[in-house]
Amino acid sequence: MEQFTIQAEAASRCGGTRPSAIIGVVASGNLEILLERIEGTGCAIEVATSATGFRPIWEAVIADFVQRTSPGGLRISINDGGARPDTVSLRLMQGVRLISEVP
Amino acid sequence: MIQTEVRSWDRQRTARHERLGRAASLAKGKQVQASDATALLEALLQPGDRVCLEGDNQKQADLLARALAAADPARVHDLHIVQSGIVLPEHLEIFERGIARKLDFSYSGPQGASIARALNNGRIELGAIHTYIELFARYYMDLTPHVALIAAVQADAQGNLYTGPNTEDTPTIVEATAFKSGIVVAQVNRIVDRLPRVDIPGDQVDFIIEADRPFYVEPLFTRDPASITETQILMAMMAIKGIYAEYGVKRLNHGIGFGTAAIELLLPTFAERLGLKGKIATHWALNPHPTLIPAIESGWVEQIHCFGSEVGMDAYMAARPDIYFTGRDGTLRSNRMMCQNAGLYACDMFIGSTLQIDLDGNSSTVTPDRIAGFGGAPNMGADAHGRRHASDSWLKAGREASDGNIAMTRGRKLVVQIVETFGAGMAPTFVERLDSVALAEKLQLELVPVMIYGDDVTHIVTEEGIANLLLCRTREEREQAIRGVAGYTEVGRGRDRAVVQKLRERRVIRRPEDLGLNPLDATRHLLAARSIRDLVGWSKDLYRPPSKFRNW
């Protein structure tokens, strides 16, 4: 088990009015993501993962995600069961779409 | 006057009669008891003979394999095995026992590790690893079998054979052997008075043996929809919108991976909503994939020709003769030679998966200790330079690849690799150097085993996007296009971001958002069937899945 937080600065605040969103499942090879609103345009991503030693890949995945979707003003908590980077990326994208949708 | 040496021109026929004479006491008419199978082979075979012990992609002449493995190596030795599939343990045992020495084959799925070991310790002298039609072609050129040991469902007393839905390689093997003074021995599940249909005429068959149990058939093409992931669904959506729709691909072949299974299950849902019905995926060279049932039932598919059959699909196909090729008896007629030819010359697209892709786009399914062989993918996944008929998708691909000499532009087959950037156990799909290069060095192979050469590949689809290699103009561009969809593998992270961004602007690389795709739509609800049970329902209970896929 490894835990760390990655801070990123997004270009703008994430749209929509939903206060929070949750997507994914806690399972082997999968992950659960909770998104919550915070002040400002920063994005705080807290990762708890069962696979150790992949922090550089997490940082690369998150840097691209922040650039592609601009998830400013979000705290994102990830409960990871050893998902592959593509699954992480897809879940992050899905999470941002979900919280920015009109409820 | 020219002096000519007196020679006989029918030595092969004479030898055939000698062999038949040695075996005559074991047969009653053409029938030989299963308990005499080894004695029959010892009487027929001569050292150094080329032998095809029918091992296809699916059906196996297992009784004859056991009989040959039990032969006395003092009498039967140094055989040259020329068969497409090395599948059963007995196929290796004949080499371990010295009954056979040389091997020319195509595919070795389950025995891949054993073959690598046997090559390494010198038990097997390897001729070559072929594609299916390449080996079949050599049956008619320089690898004609002296003896063929084949499998059929039924025979009559005259030796006529009914091969049933799994005809596969049999007509091709028998044609080469029987018409070159060779000997054909068939194991059959049953000897009957009247056959449902004749697949092989009796005058091409010398001996028939009723087996104690039906020949073994492996279910190879059944993909459980329950195992399809959302990443694979996203990739399938990209492929449909970015390639099938873009090129209007009507005639195609699919590989057996989960990515293509997802595409099949998105035709009646996602693709239907895009208005693509009748415009794509109407004519197929394809094994009977159960995951295509929903598309067939929804009226997407015009027709399908099959390499072989699939366990559980027989009743469904027999009830859909407008779609499948069937005999007068009503059951499927498959034929690997014909279907491979259809895939080579009459398909506009091949799409399939692989284990490794290098920076030039070469791909391989070889891992450090396994030789899996090729099967049919290299022919499906190759541009046939002998093709001379046009189609819209073929011409469009050719135009994209051309440098501007429009007057003489030829078409291109679309050859698409659909892969996730990481495979099982976080093994990267994209690598600097294929494992097959190291294997070729270790085993001193003349050729590095490459499944599909990079210069035949037109598109690579990953969860990150589509790379269109037709639009690349230099080797450097190709490399960056490949890196640009290689995700978070080392190869992917080694990309030149500025070049990749330019490639994206030129639509060489397209991301899901460039295709107007919403990642939230990539859910399992998009699949027309989400379980094997759903497929049974779509088939109106005609599909009968094997027990290992039944979980209800």
pLDDT tens for residues B143-167? 999 999 999 999 999 999 999 999 9
- Predicted confidence at residue B326, as pLDDT, reads 98
To which H or E segment does residue B363 belong? strand B363-364
The CATH number of residue B280's host domain is 3.40.1080.10
Mutate to test the interface with A, among B237, B430, B488 (most CBs of A within 10 A): B488
**Three-state secondary structure call for residue B443:** helix
User: Is the CB of residue B229 less than 8 Å away from at least one CB of chain A?
Assistant: yes
Let me know if residue B420 belongs to a domain: yes
- For residue A56, give the chain B residue with the closest CA: B488
Per-residue pLDDT tens over the stretch B107-119: 998 899 999 899 8
Let me know if residue B16 belongs to a domain: no
- CA distances from residue B95 to B90, B366, B373, B485 in whole angstroms, order as listed: 9, 22, 18, 44
Based on the fold, state whether residues B192 and B236 are members of the same structural domain: no
What value does the mean pLDDT take over residues A34-61?
93
Based on the fold, state whether residues B229 and B197 are members of the same structural domain: no
String of b and e for B23-54 (b: at least 16 CB within 10 Å)? Answer: beebbeebbbebebbbbbbbbbbbeebbbbbb
> Do residues B176 and B144 make contact, with C-beta atoms less than 8 angstroms apart?
yes
Measured between beta carbons, which residues in chain B are less than 8 angstroms from residue A61?
488
Is the pLDDT reported for residue B551 higher than 80? Answer: no
**Three-state secondary structure call for residue B206:** coil
Based on the fold, state whether residues B39 and B78 are members of the same structural domain: yes
Per-residue pLDDT tens over the stretch B414-458: 999 999 999 877 889 999 999 999 999 988 889 999 999 999 999
Is the pLDDT reported for residue B85 higher than 70? Answer: yes
Based on the fold, state whether residues B133 and B246 are members of the same structural domain: no
Based on the fold, state whether residues B446 and B348 are members of the same structural domain: yes
Q: Which of B158, B179, B210 is the last residue of a domain?
A: B210
Under an 8 A CB cutoff, do B520 and A97 touch? Answer: yes
Measured between beta carbons, which residues in chain B are less than 8 angstroms from residue A68?
513
- What's the pLDDT band for B504 if we cut at 50, 70, 90? very high
The full set of domain ranges for chain A reads 2-100
Based on the fold, state whether residues B329 and B462 are members of the same structural domain: yes
Under an 8 A CB cutoff, do A90 and B463 touch? Answer: yes
What is the rounded distance in angstroms from the CA atom of residue A92 to the CA atom of residue B320? 44
Residue B523 has φ and ψ, to the nearest 5°, of -125, 165
Q: How many domains does chain B have?
A: 2
What is the rounded distance in angstroms from the CA atom of residue B543 to the CA atom of residue B535? 8
User: Is the CB of residue A97 less than 8 Å away from at least one CB of chain B?
Assistant: yes
User: Is the CB of residue A38 less than 8 Å away from at least one CB of chain B?
Assistant: no
Structurally, at CATH architecture level, domain A2-100 sits in 2-Layer Sandwich (3.30)
Based on the fold, state whether residues B125 and B247 are members of the same structural domain: no
Is the pLDDT reported for residue A103 higher than 80? Answer: no
Based on the fold, state whether residues B202 and B232 are members of the same structural domain: no
What is the rounded distance in angstroms from the CA atom of residue B457 to the CA atom of residue B476? 16
Based on the fold, state whether residues B376 and B513 are members of the same structural domain: yes
Let me know if residue B13 belongs to a domain: no
Based on the fold, state whether residues B157 and B230 are members of the same structural domain: no
To which H or E segment does residue B424 belong? none
Which domain range does residue B124 map to?
27-210
- What's the pLDDT band for B221 if we cut at 50, 70, 90? very high
What value does the mean pLDDT take over residues A50-69?
90
Measured between beta carbons, which residues in chain B are less than 8 angstroms from residue A84?
231, 420-422, 426
- Predicted confidence at residue B285, as pLDDT, reads 98
Based on the fold, state whether residues B236 and B197 are members of the same structural domain: no
Based on the fold, state whether residues B170 and B244 are members of the same structural domain: no
To which H or E segment does residue A73 belong? none
- Predicted confidence at residue B1, as pLDDT, reads 63
